Amino acid sequence: MQLTLWTYEGPPHVGAMRIATAMKGLHYVLHAPQGDTYADLLFTMIERRNARPPVTYTTFQARDLGGDTAELFKTACASAYERFQPQAMIVGASCTAELIQDDPGGLAKALALPVPVIPLELPSYQKKENWGASETFYQVVRNLAAPRSPDTEFNPRSCNILGPTALGFRHRDDLTEITRLLQGLGITVNVVAPLNATPDDIRRLGDAAFNVVLYPETAETAARWLERNCKQPMTTVVPLGVSATREFIRQVAELAGIDATAFLAEEASRLPWYSRSVDSTYLTGKRVFIFGDATHALAAARIAKEELGFDVVGLGTYSREFARPMREAAAKLGIDALITDDYLEVEAKVAELQPELVLGTQMERHIAKKLGVPCAVISAPVHVQDFPARYSPQMGFEGANVIFDSWVHPLMMGLEEHLIHMFRNDFEFNDKAAPSHLGHGGAAPAKAHSPATDSAVVASPKPASGGWSPEAEKELQKVPFFVRGKARRNTERFAAERGLAIITVETLYDAKAHYSR
């Protein structure tokens, strides 16, 4: 454990909270000190939920450590049952409470409550949030689900959708999109879990013919258990992107024993059309860096490479449990995977690779802004703006449209900003010109901030760091942003090969001529 400004994942009890908050009729009693209730804000502020999580905290204080904290837990547990009357309860400890070893599971069992009480063993100092969510869902399924009863009518065209949780990146809209897709194929959705499921719904999981796993980080462990114990096969394709969605449709059709040819013939995404159009040449070869949870990062790499023609120069994840498939995917792209949960390592890698687009989390959004690179968010952790009120899925054909807009628009807006900067000395666009919609009578605005003139690099009479003269740095800003990184790298390599200590305007153009041959 290390002290850090940002973190990609919280402790495992936050993952357990994501499961409890997603479900109905399930209550979480968390043995935790005063102050750990901060986690409520993740759901009420960031996800904009209209109710706080169904969690009861013991909230013991320092003075309680000399007394009977176990009794505090038992009292909190009994009170939670009396107040909320849940169908089932989960109990566990936060990272701080774990140190006092009060055994919440054993204490809750001693109360002999009339509902199932599921103990959670979440090692806070070895595991993190996504693992905590996966383990919690697995324990809920393992304790409540059962194979289909012989008396239950079997529908071979039925499935469960597993994986969507509270605080999940676009999980709500993904669920709507995939449910609509499955219904279009004539497949009945038996249970969706954990999102909006009750413990009674979990008991019905065994009635379905197969399971659709949307988010492996959360649902794969539980789905493997259902595969072994309830004889339910599971999907292995995550429908992110047009190609993956089509593969997903073929896979679920095979599991359900139906023909999806006619359904697949109806093209439902605009992304393939654009990728085949003449305008797509603007996208070809864009250098992109990708980082996030394993599911979204792997899908993003495939979409970027196969569907948009980008050049993936960096790929990584903070999901260490999925390091192997990430390394395999990176190897196919001819690069090394970055497996880390240290945002400073990610920032250093982005700075080294100088991509033209970053696809990442909320952290990468800040990193890209700092480095002046366009960015689109593709994965949790995210902030409030990534829980939009509008319908905005990532999965399915409509999700592919949303992904296309989210990724391409930052590049297009960057091009527009470059053009405005390029023509800023024009009579109509210069800083002293009045806004065009005011006509000639409008008052001229105050002098605007100009990176080209306000920069310490331009103002300094000394060569900039890295051997660039002020004049050369100023000239480099005239190069379009989407090739500026390449121009800088080529010029610095050209100067290094010739032993030039300072890069001048002449060096910049000599390098351009050299690499244009």
Sign of CA dihedral 360, 361, 365, 367: negative
**φ/ψ bin of 282: left (φ > 0), alpha (ψ from -120 to 50), beta (otherwise):** alpha
Write the CB contacts of 243 (distance below 8 Å, at least 6 apart in sequence).
Answer: 302, 303, 306, 307
- Residues with Cβ within 8 Å of 94's Cβ and at least 6 positions away in sequence, in order, are 11, 13, 30, 31, 32, 33, 36, 124
Phi, psi (deg, nearest 5) at residue 472: -70, -40
Closest-CA residue to 257 (of 179, 158, 161, 184): 158
Contacts of 359 (CB under 8 A, 6+ apart): 288, 289, 290, 291, 292, 300, 304, 375, 376, 377, 378, 407
User: In sequence order, what are the residues at sequence separation of 6 or more whose Cβ sits closer than 8 angstroms to the Cβ of residue 287?
Assistant: 310, 311, 313, 353, 354, 355, 356, 357, 485, 486
Q: Examine the residue annotation and report whether 279 is marked as an active-site residue of this protein.
A: yes
Task: Tell me how far apart the terminal alpha carbons of the chain are, to the nearest angstrom.
Answer: 52
- DSSP state, residue 262: H
Report residue 381 as tokens. Answer: 């952790």
Distances (CA, A) of 462 to 135, 198, 470, 472: 58, 68, 7, 12
Q: Distance between CA 433 and CA 426 in Å, rounded?
A: 9
DSSP H helical ranges for 316-455: 323-332, 343-353, 362-371, 396-422, 451-454
CB 146 within 8 A of CB 203: yes
Judge if the upstream peptide bond of residue 147 is cis by omega within 30 degrees of 0.
no
CA–CA gap between residue 335 and residue 118 (Å, rounded): 43
Burial group, residue 22, by CB count within 10 angstroms (0-12, 13-18, 19+): buried
Give the sheet arrangement for strand 188-193, strand by strand.
Answer: 188-193, 158-162, 210-213
CB 330 within 8 A of CB 337: yes
Which position among 68, 200, 259, 279 bears the catalytic label? 279
**Cα 275 from Cα 1, distance rounded (Å):** 44
Q: Order of strands across the sheet with 311-317?
A: 338-339, 311-317, 287-292, 357-360, 375-377
Nearest-CA neighbor of 486 among 311, 302, 361, 275? 311
The residues that are catalytic are: 279
